[in-house]
Amino acid sequence: MILNTKNLRVGYGKKTVVADINIEAMKGQFIGLLGPNGSGKSTILKTIVRMLVPLGGEIYLNGHNISSLSNLEMARTTAVVLTESISPGLLAAYDVVMLGRHPYTGFIGKPTEEDNRKVFEALKMVNAADLAHRYFGELSDGEKQKTMLARALAQEPQLIVLDEPTSHLDARHRIEVMLILRQLTQKKGVTVIASLHDIDLAMKACDIVILIKDERILACGAPEDVLEESTVADLYNMDKAAFSSYLGGVELRSNGHGPVYVVAGSGSGARLYRSLVKHGFSIITGVLPENDIDYYIARAVGATVVSEKPYNEISSDACSQAQKLMSDAKLVVDADFPVGSANRRNIDLMRHALESGQGTYTLRGRDEAVKIYGDIASRFIYCQSLSQLMDVISKSENLIT
């Protein structure tokens, strides 16, 4: 065990921010702290690295109470990457990383060959060897963050504490930084504790997540166990969006006008659902088998879903339920779903919509539609693309209301 806390209470002055913190961090674990802004993630991290004094309880590093360790002992075991941006003047990335060797260099800080080698190892570890000679101030945010990571690595720590290491970064660097951290834990056995904002990245990279809200730890454990729709919704007070543990991400919730009835399947609905949500429609969809990707996305975006058990043919019950819901819908969309024996009844459903004279749209080409639905396919309103469909139905929606 690298780090553990006992009934730790953290905060500023007399104000407690989080209490009853009992963390156990093992060698090589990647621990993510999740929680809304201001929940105290940073306060906990700053206390662990002795930038703040604990208001109560104890913190142990390798079994030693950290208040008994010298600055040097701390610096040799624990490295920090803070959110504050630094402006070190005319230092090259190499110099910044070399500062990480401070706990090991002599009185004047003259680097040895070994220090030099370690600096380069660290830079390579974060894919930043080519940045060595460039001024730190001239690097992009992502490159700066990688350099700061390399600096932390050059300290040869057992524990790296990072405060929001991925904020301000673009998509590529965000993932790159998480991968580097993941690698550190697996290859070098370094323990990583980081406060994070991306639930999806945390779920995919962390061994343990700790959820913090309202001055206490809401939950702690493997992300697979802890990160469920209801817990995440509670953590962030989300009602306009939902976390799906199957999809590993957050989906916006549909609400507003419509509803639009979507007949989809096998992923044909995924982009359509998100587009509809984005344009403010609420969604009814079905019939979908309960093992279909569209089923999970539809659930996550808060659509009303008519479903069938996995690997079963669509039953007439489900079909009639779908027909009933369809009659409430303002319009019906055929998402260009693949047709097979199990979902034949969805074709009947579409025919029904066409016969009833509802506004019925399709994303299929004309020839294919005729092949599947026969002559009645001439009643379809054809759309070449999602954006065209959105254009058309947004306009017709305006006409209706």
Partner 1 sequence: MAKTMTTSETNETVSFLARRWKRFALVMTLFAVGVFLFLVLNVALGSVNIPFPDTIKAIFGGHSSQSAFDSIIWQLRLPRAFGALLSGSALAVAGLLLQVFFRNPIVDPFILGVSSGATFMVAIAMLGSYLLGATVVSSLTLSMASFVGAVLVMLVALAVASKVRDIITLLVIGLMTGYVVSALSSFLIAFAQSENVHRFVIWTMGSFSGFRWEYVQWLAIASIPLMTGCYLMSKQLNAFLLGENYARSSMGVNVKVFRYLIIFLSCALTAIVTAFAGPVAFIGLAVPHLARLSLGTSDNRILIPVSILGGAMLTSLCDLLARMLFAPVELPVSATTAIFGAPMVIFFLIKGKTAI
Residues that bind partner 1 (CB under 8 A): 49-51, 70-72, 74-76, 78-80, 82, 84, 86-92, 94-96, 99-100, 102-103, 105, 107-110, 116, 120, 124, 129, 132-133, 137, 151-152, 155
Look up tokens 């690997």; give the residue. Answer: 311
Residue closer to partner 1 (CB basis): 116 or 186: 116
Residue closer to partner 1 (CB basis): 70 or 398: 70
Residue closer to partner 1 (CB basis): 180 or 383: 180
Minimal distance in Å, beta carbon 228 to partner 1? 35
- The answer to whether the CB of 264 falls within 8 A of the CB of 215 is no
Count CB atoms within 10 A of the CB of residue 64.
12
Residue closer to partner 1 (CB basis): 99 or 339: 99
- The answer to whether the CB of 230 falls within 8 A of the CB of 60 is no
Minimal distance in Å, beta carbon 80 to partner 1? 5
Residue closer to partner 1 (CB basis): 152 or 194: 152
Q: Taking CA 112 as the corner, what is the angle to CA 96 and CA 118, rounded to the nearest 5 degrees?
A: 55
Strand partners, 236: none
- The answer to whether the CB of 196 falls within 8 A of the CB of 166 is yes
Minimal distance in Å, beta carbon 40 to partner 1? 18
Largest CA distance in the chain: 89
Minimal distance in Å, beta carbon 161 to partner 1? 9
Q: Which residues contact 384 (CB under 8 A, 6 or more apart)?
A: none
- The answer to whether the CB of 136 falls within 8 A of the CB of 88 is yes
Count CB atoms within 10 A of the CB of residue 83.
13
Residue closer to partner 1 (CB basis): 117 or 324: 117
Minimal distance in Å, beta carbon 74 to partner 1? 7
- The answer to whether the CB of 81 falls within 8 A of the CB of 160 is yes
Residue closer to partner 1 (CB basis): 160 or 332: 160
Question: How would you classify residue 222: left for phi > 0, otherwise alpha for psi between -120 and 50, otherwise beta?
Answer: beta
b (16+ CB within 10 A) / e for 344-381: ebbbebbbbbbeeebbbbbbbeeeebeeebeeebebbe
Strand partners, 221: 209
CA separation for the pair 240, 252 (Å, rounded)? 6
Residue closer to partner 1 (CB basis): 162 or 332: 162
